[in-house]
Amino acid sequence: MWTLFLAGGPVMWPLLLCSLLALTVIIERACFWLRLDMAGDGKDVERLLDEYYRGGDWRKLAERDRSLTRGVVCRMLLSGMAHDGFSSTKAMEAVALEAVRTMRRGMGVLDTIITVAPMLGILGTVLGIISSFDMLGQAGINEPQAVVAGIAEALITTAAGLIISITVVFPFNYFNARIENARDVLEHYGSRLEMVQEKMRLVKQGER
């Protein structure tokens, strides 16, 4: 492997940097998604919504049960409940946007590497072919094996760039799918709280 790396020429160094950077981001994002608690236990969310609808002390419930504040959905709902009657939707949107922003951290790096790695590979191949033809001009047509060997080595960078890009695109798409799913979950529970608040307002109006 080291011999192939050296044979690829100087462009292999930025390709190595791309691969290490991509690996670092992928490991960090994988750990992030393993740690992330979207809704916690689904029963916690339902319990919180039920306590809020019945007019119970949902603040004390959240203070007493810390598991309610660990999940992103519960934090969003608690923010919406705290701002009931005054920009409840915007309060939930602020929490949701911050959560999505955290989820998207590092995705731009992976996207850039997917695009740049094959381009670096092609650049290395072009430079290698230029060098091979320069050798052909110096050695003459009598030594074609030197040129063929040079072109074969030049193609190593293209292969390396494609391997990096193809390898990174799978976790990139997986993380994007998780982000989209998280958005759907946040929108679902945000809409549910809005419906509960609307129902509570209608009940109060009916009691007057």
Q: What is the pLDDT of residue 74?
A: 85
Residue 81 DSSP one-character state:
H
- pLDDT tens track for 133-177: 776 666 555 666 666 666 777 788 999 999 999 999 999 999 999
Residue 131 CB partners (closer than 8 Å, separation 6+): 150, 154
pTM: 0.84
d(CA 112, CA 204): 54
Q: For residue 169, which amino acid is it?
A: V
- pLDDT tens track for 19-78: 999 999 999 999 999 988 775 656 778 888 888 888 777 777 777 666 666 788 888 888
- Residue 10 to residues 21, 37, 44, 128, Cα–Cα distance (Å): 18, 44, 56, 10
- Look-up of token digits 């810390």: 66
Residue 208 DSSP one-character state:
-
Burial of 188 (0-12, 13-18, 19+ CB in 10 A): exposed
